[in-house]
Amino acid sequence: MANSPDFKDYTLPGDIEDPRHATRRAVSMATAYSRFINPRGLESPFYGPWNNILCSLIDDADEALSVFPQLMIYRLRRERRPSDAYSTSSKASKAEGNTDQAIPDFCIVSVVCTHREGQQIPPLPTSWSLLQIPRTDIRAIVELKQAPSRNLKTESRFVISLDSQLLLAKVQLRSQAALVFASPTYRNRDVVLCIAVSGEWYSWRLFQRTEFNFPEKIPKNFFYLQKYATGTASESPLAAGAQTSEGKNDEGVGEQDRDKKDSEEDVENRKDEDVDDNDDDVDSDEAEDEIEGEQGDGENEADEEDKKESVDAVLPGVRPVQRFEGLSHPILQAEVANIVDAWPERGDWSGWIRLGTAASNQSFYLMNQFLRDLQYGR
């Protein structure tokens, strides 16, 4: 299928190979948004459609490129490589505890395969027991957060809700990208694609190795504190001083300043609270109800509306589903005439993008080019 020169109609390679991919994606996305299936608006049901998207995105890439949900990326604090990556023997060992690690929602990984017995690998191998993986390469990291509440009344509240969710993903991705660049396991990678997701919305960028300054001896908790590094708040396009549940009162506090203020025990305690970043215990609709309840004493606007409902109308407190699919806002990524202009500015995130739009098609084309080592940004 031929694409237009501006790639506004770009179709994911997997969708071309099998159009049912797009149908399955629509069904799984509708399921994730369903109040019957996902009444609390949790993020985990969105793994389905986004796994579909990522697999379809790399369908025309080399077979060594794969999508891994919740793959642990790590760095040994003691610089130590496996004794023999090509060994055919198996050695019993204890789990390494002195590590920096993270578990993103998805990684797109390129692997180097060799034959375990030193022979030539057949063109399309199907027996994994004969394959050995001496090296991996993290090409992309994807972090999902909750979709904005389906119960929001105004566009401005939707924008604030979406911004807060994408910001949570962005600060995690910064820390995860730093970990990839600092680990000898992935040392061959100088650029990593990062995608922050909230429901059907996303923002993306390329992180460069040169954006991070690693001390000669990296201290414990260094990568966790990347989420609180100076400038983190600028990830939010709404306000440089925006506060989130992960970074309240921490914006503007650099890594060195925080190291002075926090004892190691304090940081470890905060890490324990932050181990599971999925936020699946948070009900976005309940959170919106709490916001409305705090508007003032007495009855709020929703209560007044409920009183006017007739007995045979909708249930009290229930409003029509509103996902603001036609949102028009300066923060949104606009479609462009020249595909090169669709790359995010170096060192910055793209605007917000909704799946299925021309801007999304252009972005997916560029991601595909990057993952196939054909283009690397502006």
312 lies in a domain? no
161 lies in a domain? yes
Strands 131-145 and 191-198: parallel
85 lies in a domain? no
Amino acid found at 31: T
196 lies in a domain? yes
Considering its fold, how many domains does the chain have in total? 1
Compute the distance between CA of residue 190 and CA of residue 174 in angstroms, rounded to an integer. 14
Nearest partner of 111 among 97, 99, 95, 128, judged by Cα: 128
197 lies in a domain? yes
Is 203:196 a contact under the CB 8 Å cutoff?
yes
**Distance of alpha carbon 264 from its chain centroid, rounded?**
28
129 lies in a domain? no
200 lies in a domain? yes
- Whose tokens are 């954006």? That residue is 211
127 lies in a domain? no
Predicted model pTM: 0.75
**Distance of alpha carbon 350 from its chain centroid, rounded?**
13
- Residues with Cβ < 8 Å from 301, sequence gap 6 or more? 153, 292, 295
Count of residues making up the chain? 378
Give the domain extent around 170.
23-63+73-78+99-106+143-235+328-377
**pLDDT per residue of the chain (378 residues) written in tens, 0 to 9:** 567 889 999 999 999 999 999 999 999 999 999 988 998 889 999 999 999 999 999 999 888 899 999 999 988 877 655 545 445 555 555 556 677 889 999 999 988 777 676 777 766 677 777 777 777 889 999 999 999 887 777 878 888 889 999 999 999 999 999 999 988 888 778 999 999 999 999 999 999 999 988 888 887 778 877 655 544 445 666 654 444 444 444 433 334 444 444 444 444 444 444 444 444 444 555 544 444 444 444 444 444 434 444 344 445 455 555 566 666 667 888 999 999 999 999 999 999 999 999 999 999 999 999 999 876 665
Is 198:159 a contact under the CB 8 Å cutoff?
no
Strand order across the beta sheet in which 65-69 lies: 65-69, 106-115, 131-145, 191-198, 201-208, 353-354
